[in-house]
Structure 1
Amino acid sequence: MKPSRSGRHLALGVTAAALGLTVAFSGGSAVAAPAPTASTASGIVLGVGAEESQRVVSWYSSTGAAQVVQVVPTNRLDHGQFPRTAQEFPATVAANTVNGGFNAHAIIDGLKQRTSYSYRVGSGSSWSPTYTFKTQEFKGDFDFLFYGDPQIGSSGDTAKDGAGWADTLKVSLAANPNAELLVSGGDQVESANTETQWDAFLGSDKLRQYPWAATIGNHDVGGKAYEQHFWTPNTDRSAPFYNGTPDTRSGGDYWFTYKDVLFIDLNSNAYANGADDAHIGYVTDVINKHGAKAKYTVLVYHHSIYSPADHANDGDNQLRRQDFPTAFSNLGVDLVLQGHDHSYSRSYVIKNGKKANPAEQPGATQVAQGPGGVVYVTANSASGSKYYDLTDPDTTKDPNYGADPLNPDNHWANSVENQEHVRTYVKVEVRDDKLVVQDVRSGTCAAPNAAVERGNVSWCGPDEGATQAKPVGSTVDKVVIHPYRSNGHGHDDDHGHGGSHQGDPCWTRQSGQSGSTLTALS
């Protein structure tokens, strides 16, 4: 992404400041304008829209006055200044229940593909700094990045947590500059209404350059800050999706489409008293209405049902393990992205809450989905604020979540479980004929790694610290998922319409260089 001509902008700004003026340009001609007051905007974050041609900008403001997002193709900036013809999108402004100010959001619509845009928020003579994002092709392949639990503040040192989080964003986007979405696993902060933690979470300008698809975690509830910081498209905040008392409710279920993927995001904090059934109903309805246009369906929520660590046998997860898997298989979900357990795991192909093919080997680098097959991924900490160590399967706590016969150290559902006490992120490559899921190290045992720096964990590195930490950018795990295809479409006839998959094909296992390739035979 090319920066604006900041050096020339600075020189002009110095000259204008000496005259008590700002300089605006229209058609190449400079015009005098009143000197701006200090920007009232803070916490600016770029979010996903309902589709590729939309983005959402959310921010906090000290004023409730009318505000806009001003947007222009970057190549139309003149010495960093917005032309008078820049398009403006009006903001919705509401009283902020957290800090007494206001929160605002505006939907940027009608974006064109393969274009760099610059934007700022404010009104009149008071504007935020200028930020830039770019769109890419609106069809075809793309990559997105998934981040687990930054949970800023959970180490006991907000600044160190923020440094680790900012470094993961920097490292991951330097390695993947054309990534098109940043997807959240939830728990942006430790304490829902602590704005210093939100400030640290939102400190990196990467969150103003790439769209953030927010997910609400259990540490994001208990107040309104989450939804005041993030406006999400197509959101249902009905009671079953929006738990808590009226003063502290936040979240909801939402969905959006991006190219060939239907993303559905659930507030998994709501799970009891029929909420899981309500989530399934929501997913069913969205897939029935929009799934036919998508090649893949990706679900995102916070609480990992196939947790490998401390939360493996939590009572709420035991309930979700009963409620979700068969429904997700019947609905033709392809990939489920989760957080909460601050460790990495990748499941076997799971169908109806069971391993789809008993012959699939641990760590297989290629798997075939088969009808009803779903892969579940749990992300490790992206900030280094908190790690949970892997736990041994314990059937005394949950008789249905025992050991993997092929790898008794792991829970039966998981092909890979990993914890090294280093920061990681998950890269997902969306291709016409496959999904590629890769867990990548974004840090080492060295700072910034708050949990290690503060001695919150006693070891660091592979094999519980017995092996030296691998370099930044190295791969923890990688798998190619070959989707089920039928009749030339992305899914079989029932896939995406709530029907059950009867008459499944047989499975055969072909040995590969690393692990196994599972191939469905019709």
Structure 2
Amino acid sequence: MKNKKIIIGILLSISIICFPLLSISKNNTSYPLNDEEYKISMDDFSKICLTPGENETMLNFCWYDTNPDGNSQIKIWEKYGDIMFYKGLKNELKDGFVSNKVTVKNLKENTTYYYSYSNDGIWTKPVKFKTKSFKDFNFAFMGDPQIGASSKKMNSHKDGIEKDSFNWNKVIKKSLENNDDISFLVCGGDETNTIEEKNNIEKAKISNIEYAGFLNPNYLRFIPVANTIGNHDKDNENFCNHFNMPNTSHLGETKAGGDYYFTYSNTLFLFLNTNNLNINEHKEFIENAMKKNTYMKWKIAVFHHDIYGGGIHNNDKDVKELRHKLPYILEKNNIDLVLCGHDHIYSRTYPLKNNKKNSKGIVYITGSSSTGSKFYKHIDKTKNYIKSKYDKEEPTYTIIKVSENNIIITTNKVNDDKSIDNKIIIEK
């Protein structure tokens, strides 16, 4: 039984010479110099998105174009290495776009690469990125960006999307500036606000623009992001068309996709689509993933609905059903940490087992809004399973450092970087 406790090719090629790279400044990582340089391009649906691959040596890519013919292609190379070509799959969509998905393999740690992708038959300008350590690693966790939710308070959908996209860029920028060795981002769901409806042209158009806003930050050209399916995403095919998730499953499936997992170093990440309330499907998915990855020391589950949160969703029917059935499965499979969204209020539980405080239990963390696009009012009475809560209307982000012997968690406000909770250390 685990003993766990909480202690509060060749010379780049002609194309590199001809095309400028994204600017690189601090420690080989690209950063806009300041927020004023952030350019909003809501009409560009072709921006590529990186996602963690099946393991740390792999990387998934996804992008839109309008060419249904030929192959989806990525070329990738080291500065003085040979160019490697990877082909993937095209999926022709009903709105005239084509979703391209490619997986790159055999990456090395702490190595600088360049990649280019075929966009409507033309190779894009090369982008530079650097892999991080394949042993000890860090990742950033952000709660609901919900791009477009600010539109209700603005003059138009466009104004709201631009505001939220700007703030989405800001939180990524802040997390990378203060933690330049981040391997990837994890997003707690509700990436966008509007559900695409088959026969509603206006909603479909707005949903596309919201995804353009989510994908607009240049950081997403070189930092992978692992997204969770939220309640605003569950019925939207844009989710599975824009993101190339690894090890996808039909278990836990809605229109946006099902459960999926990946490994990184000594850690298994399990992403559950908790919009699907079939607990037996999630149980089967978790057990299958565990059987294939018995050597993983740490297990982190990520899903949208915060079953032990501190906000207004606490008594929702779906949340209560998940809270009644899901923890037993997580505990039986020795999950160490759970990351959620949904309530737009940060909270952290005591270690919980059998719905009670237990030093050998699971810590549940709910992320607040990472963009400030939407906040809920807090509930007056804090639940007895919550150890820490922050309900101010200020965007936050969480940095999680994983090593052989511990997981260290810190959560800060975006605007001034001040901590909102004690440093949390999970040891095993």
Measured against the shorter chain, the TM-score band is: 0.7 to 0.9
Name the CA distance, whole Å, in 1 between partners of 2:53 and 2:67. 25
Structure 1: distance between partners of 2:375 and 2:383: 18
**Which one of the candidate residues 295, 303, 309 is aligned to 2:297?**
295
Do 2:67 and 2:120's aligned partners in 1 also have CA atoms closer than 8 Å? no
1:214 has 2:260 as partner: no
- Aligned residue number for residue 250 of structure 2: 237
Q: 2:275 — aligned with what?
A: 269
Aligned pairs for 1:159-170 within 5 A:
159-170=162-173
Q: Does residue 144 of the first structure (1) align with residue 130 of the second (2)?
A: no
Query: Residue 50 of structure 2 aligns with which residue?
Result: 46
Tell me, in whole angstroms, the C-alpha distance in 2 between the residues paired with 1:161 and 1:268.
25
The one-letter amino acid of 1:307's match is: G
Cα separation, 1, equivalents of 2:234 and 2:96:
18
Identify the residue that residue 200 of structure 2 maps to in structure 1: none
Residues 80-139 of structure 1 deviation map (CA, whole Å, 9 limit, x = unaligned): xxx9x4111112101113x22210110000111211111111079612232222112322
Q: Distance in 2 between matches of 1:147 and 1:344?
A: 11
Tell me, yes or no, if the aligned pair for 1:41 and 1:122 is still in contact at 8 Å.
no
Corresponding residue of 1:95: 92
Distance 1:221 1:482, change over 3 A: closer
3-state SS of 1:233 partner: coil
Percent identity (aligned): 32
Distance, in Å, in 1 between the alignment partners of 2:402 and 2:16 is 38
Q: Structure 2-normalised TM-score?
A: 0.83
Contact kept in structure 2, 1:93 and 1:105, CA below 8 Å = yes
Can you list the C-alpha shifts for 1:257-311, whole angstroms capped at 9, x where unaligned?
A: 100110000001101xxx1122122112212331x31111000001110121121
Counterparts of 2:305 and 2:396 in 1: how far apart (Å)? Answer: 18
Structure 2: which 5+ residue stretches go unaligned? Answer: 1-12, 21-43, 152-159, 197-206
Task: Please give the alpha-carbon distance, in whole angstroms, between the structure 2 residues aligned to 1:115 and 1:276.
Answer: 41
* Amino acid paired to 2:405: D
Give 1:9 deviation, angstroms: 4.3
Measure the CA separation in 1 of the matches of 2:48 and 2:335: 33
Aligned equivalents of 1:340, 1:419: Cα separation in 2: 13
Aligned to 1:200: 213
Find the counterpart in structure 2 of residue 114 from structure 1.
Answer: 110
What is the alpha-carbon distance in structure 2 between the residues aligned to residue 5 and residue 475 of structure 1? Answer: 47
SS of equivalent residue, structure 2 residue 100: strand
For residue 346 of structure 1, give the secondary structure of its aligned residue in structure 2: strand
Question: 1:331 Cα shift?
Answer: 1.4
Instruction: Tell whether 2:52 aligns with 1:57.
Output: no
1:185-238: CA deviation from partner (whole Å, max 9, x where unpaired): 011100133111001111101111111112111111223100000111111124
Question: 1:105 is paired with a residue of what secondary structure?
Answer: strand
2:399 matches 1:427:
yes
The alpha-carbon deviation at position 351 of structure 1 amounts to: 0.8
Q: State the match for 1:382 in structure 2.
A: 370
Find the residue that maps to 1:187 and give its secondary structure.
coil
1:310 to 305, 309, 312: 312
Report if aligned partners of 2:348, 2:386 keep a CA contact under 8 Å in 1. Answer: yes
Structure 2 counterpart of 1:182, from 181, 185, 203: 185
> Which residue, 315, 322, 335 being the options, matches 2:324?
322
In the TM superposition, what is the alpha-carbon distance from 1:173 to its structure 2 partner?
Answer: 0.8
Does the aligned pair in 2 maintain the 1:345–1:416 contact within 8 Å? yes
Q: CA deviation at 1:254?
A: 0.7
* Matched pairs, number: 375
More contact order relative to length (CA 8 Å, sep ≥ 6):
2
Query: Structure 2: how far apart are the matches of 1:389 and 1:234?
Result: 37
Partner of 2:240, secondary structure, is helix
| Contact 1:165–1:383 (CA under 8 A) maintained in structure 2 | yes
Matched to 1:150, the amino acid is P
Structure 2 counterpart of 1:266, one-letter code:
L
Q: Specify the alignment match of 2:263 in structure 1.
A: 257
TM-score, scaled to structure 1: 0.69
Is the 8 Å Cα contact of residues 326 and 353 (structure 1) preserved in structure 2?
A: no
**Alpha-carbon distance between aligned partners in 1 of 2:145 and 2:120, rounded to the nearest angstrom:** 36
